[in-house]
Amino acid sequence: MSDLKENELLAILQEGQIITDSSVHNLTFEQKKMIVISALVSTHSSSLLYRTIKQYLDKHFTKEIIKEAMFQGIPYIGVSHIYDAQSVLIKVLTDQEESASLSSARRVSQNKKYDIGLEIQKTIIPEFTKEMFETSAADERALTVQFLTTFCFGGIYSRGVISLEDRELLTYSYLICSSRDYVMLKRHIKSCLNLGFDRQTLIEVILIAAPFIGFPRCFTALRTLNEVVPPEKEQLRNPQVIKTNDSVDKASAASQQEEAPKDNSKENVDKVNVAIPNQNSIKAKVAQQEASSTLNALKQSKATELQDAASSYSEFANIDSRQLSPTQKIRLINDFVSKHINTPTDIELIKKILAIRIKTMQNHK
């Protein structure tokens, strides 16, 4: 692949990650990195996996952590895929002239794996474990009881290096990225909840994986999550929109009371005139939130050096309520970017992000 094409693809990926990262607040940096690793391993993205490992590898996010994040996928995507992924890790270590030897994680003796695996199963998926033991036919038990408990939970979950909670979060990620077994995905969503993860954190896992696996899998995972833990009723409504609409209704009612009814067309015009300022008000609030979110994402990405950006973003936030053509709006964006962003790559990236914000606001007029 030419450098030009590669740089363009990486810029698109970076843009996607900036957008998703701005909405992720519960996951730690290490958890986010492990989820990206699991997404790349699941989608067999060797070249991108190589680049990502080079970027992530440091004294805190060690080769052992990367290895265990990969190994957690063994029960869900198979040894063959993990073998190839580990080869990529070894190549990175070799190219960086580091020791390519990977120390073995904690290994449970074979005669104890079943017992330890059973205890782990009971901890994270108690209902499913009970169901499997009680309902599996005699000729299925070698797979559904003995092998599952010994190999998966006794052999993989017990390896250490990363916590049991993070291993289960990785399992959830591997299932999102690679599996069509939605029954199993539901079970592991419940497992994550049993271990203390909430709905928002599980949505954040989908967000982190999104640039690598695409929207169809993301929306399928979201639908499955909603079946297990539906959104709270208050999350189904936008409080700002509700408040604004209530204000519009009250203002419209007051307007009708003040003015004697004449004809339906005039009454409808009055309603529209009353509603417009309120809609502009909510757009300004939404724009301000979007600007703040974008600014936070830029700061977190460390992709740019921004000076006096807050005031410029405040100016940008009011762009939608000003009488400007789309061309004038984009010109203002370009002026802002040229003033505050130093490198050409960053200029193009931020232009795209801000143009998306403006287009979103325009579509809501």
One domain for residues 224 and 301: no
For residues 77 and 179, state if they share a domain.
yes
Helices (H), ranges, the chain: 3-21, 29-42, 46-56, 63-71, 74-77, 79-95, 110-124, 126-135, 141, 164-178, 182-194, 199-213, 215-228, 239-258, 264-301, 309-317, 326-340, 344-363
Same domain, 225 and 262: no
Q: Clarify whether residues 196 and 345 are in a common domain.
A: no
Residue, of 78 and 288, whose pLDDT is higher: 78
Residue 301, CA distances (Å) to 20, 143, 294, 350, 356 in order: 11, 46, 11, 12, 18
The domain boundary, picked from 233, 266, 288, lies at 233
Same domain for 244 and 228, yes or no, is: no
303 and 182 in one domain? no
* Residue 275 domain-assigned (yes or no): yes
Average pLDDT of the segment spanning 138-162: 91
Residue 35 domain-assigned?
yes
Question: Which range marks the domain in which residue 244 is found?
Answer: 239-363
Q: In this structure, are 48 and 87 located in the same domain?
A: yes
**261 in the same domain as 200:** no
More confident position, 126 or 322: 126
For 356, the 3-state DSSP assignment is helix
Total number of domains constituting the chain: 2
C-alpha neighbours within 13 Å on the C-beta side of residue 266: 7
**Each residue's pLDDT tens digit, 89-133:** 999 999 987 777 777 777 778 888 999 999 998 888 888 888 888
Same domain, 295 and 173: no
In a domain, 111, yes or no: no
Examine the fold and report which residue of 233, 255, 289 is the final residue of a domain before the chain moves on.
Answer: 233
Taking the CA of residue 365 as centre, how many other CA atoms within 13 Å lie in the half-sphere pointing to its CB? 11
61 and 180 belong to one structural domain: yes
Domain shared by 211 and 348, yes or no: no
How many Å separate Cα 350 from the centre of its chain? 20
- Residue 222 and residue 269 share a domain: no
Most confident of 74-83, 101-110, 325-334: 74-83
Stretch 293-303: mean pLDDT: 53
For residue 80, the model assigns a pLDDT of: 93
Q: How far apart are the first and last CA of the chain?
A: 42
Does residue 222 belong to any structural domain of this protein?
yes
- pTM for the predicted model, two decimal places: 0.63
Give me the chain's average pLDDT, please. Answer: 76
> Between residues 237 and 200, which one has the greater pLDDT?
200
**SS3 for 256-322, per residue?**
HHHCCCCCHHHHHHHHHHHHHHHHHHHHHHHHHHHHHHHHHHHHHHCCCCCCCHHHHHHHHHCHHHC
Q: What percent of the chain is modeled with pLDDT above 90?
A: 41
